[in-house]
Amino acid sequence: MSIVTESIAGSAEGSADMVQLIDMHKWYGEFHVLKGINMTVSRGERIVICGPSGSGKSTLIRCINRLEEHQQGQIIVDGNELTGNLKQIDKVRSEVGMVFQAFNLFPHLTVLENCTLAPIWVRKIPRREAEATAMKYLERVRIPDQAHKYPGQLSGGQQQRVAIARSLCMTPRIMLFDEPTSALDPEMIKEVLDVMVSLAQEGMTMICVTHEMGFARTVANRVIFMDRGEIVEQNNPIEFFNNPRSERTKAFLSQVLQH
């Protein structure tokens, strides 16, 4: 399975890089949020981004599917550079899945409709086929029995798993997670993390902003530490947690790991 996708993608663009950020800057008005980010994510890689509040983690991953616009430098996603070209943007977005802290399910649609909307309208897949695919992914996140309920009738953990299934239905080449568990009660965090771990084990390329350091340890290939709009340090999880090099990383880790 993974061999097939790799060969197709490889022949298309001839590069193993899913995401490439080259000296990328972003300002909110006068405020310089991201200051020259350089970062490469290879196919199948699992990145965890951490850092203090306000350091620009959300802004960074939101730039990757152009929910935010960068002003300088380059962002290349699966061979497509993000510019003002709207067609190109929609194309990148349909290849990039995103899971939000606040779930952002569509409350007026059932769980199943949430999952089939984009495949039907963006991918032009016939409804029956889209529903079958959606049920498959709802089974994978272990809530097929909720398919005909509305999001408002589900618990937070269930909603977040639906949100993951909704993204998966577009068969994305990369998934972005922005603090997917921080709006959840402790007993629901595990059910969402379990789904994410199984995704990782199947080889999904993932960039995940999270403070779940246990998840980072077991799943990540690389942990990136951000502070004040810069990437301060990145390393494999063992080195990152055991031998942090910069003082800022040490200070951050001592705070996070206390809990």
Partner 1 sequence: MPSEFQAPANVTLRPPVASLGPLGWLRANLFNSWPNTILTLLAVWLIVRVVPPVFNWAILDAVTGQQSAAACRAPGAGACWSFLSEKWRFILFGLYPPDQHWRPALVVLLIVTMLIVSCDRRLWGWALAAIWLTGLAVVFLLMAGGIFGLPYVDDTRWGGLPLTLIISVVGMVLGFPIAVALALGRRSELPVVRALCIGFIELVRGVPLISVLFMASVMIPLFLPRDVTIDKLLRAEVGYALFFSAYLAEAIRGGLQAIPRGQYEAADSLGLTYWQKTSKIILPQALKLVIAPMVNNFIGQFKDTSLVIIIGIFDLMMTAKTALSDPAWLGFYKEAYLFIAVIYFGFCFFMSRYSLWLERHLHRGQRR
Binding site for ligand ATP (CB under 6 A): 28, 31, 33, 51, 53-59
Considering only 38, 74, 104, 198, the residue that binds partner 1 (CB under 8 A) is 104
- Selection from ligand ATP, partner 1, Mg ion, none that 100 binds (CB < 5 to 8 A by kind) is partner 1
3-state secondary structure 33-86: EEEEEEEEEECCCEEEEECCCCCCHHHHHHHHCCCCCCCEEEEEECCEECCCCH
Q: Residue 43 forms beta bridges with which residues?
A: none
Q: Is 58 in the site for Mg ion (CB under 5 A)?
A: yes
Report d(CA 60, CA 66) in Å as an integer. Answer: 10
Q: Is 170 in the site for partner 1 (CB under 8 A)?
A: yes
Where in 60-99 is the site for Mg ion (CB under 5 A)? none
- Selection from ligand ATP, partner 1, Mg ion, none that 55 binds (CB < 5 to 8 A by kind) is ligand ATP
194 phi, psi to nearest 5 deg: -60, -45
Q: Judged by CB, which is closer to ligand ATP: 29, or 214?
A: 29
Rounded least distance, CB 130 to partner 1, Å: 13
The full DSSP string for 169-210 is: TT--SEEEEESTTTTS-HHHHHHHHHHHHHHHHTT-EEEEE-
Rounded least distance, CB 207 to ligand ATP, Å: 13
Stretch of 56-64, 109-117, 188-196, 236-244 contacting Mg ion, by CB under 5 A: 56-64
Which bin fits 179, alpha (ψ -120 to 50), beta or left (φ > 0)? left
In the numeric block, which tokens belong to residue 13?
A: 């663009």
- Selection from partner 1, Mg ion, ligand ATP, none that 108 binds (CB < 5 to 8 A by kind) is partner 1
Binding region for Mg ion (CB under 5 A): 58
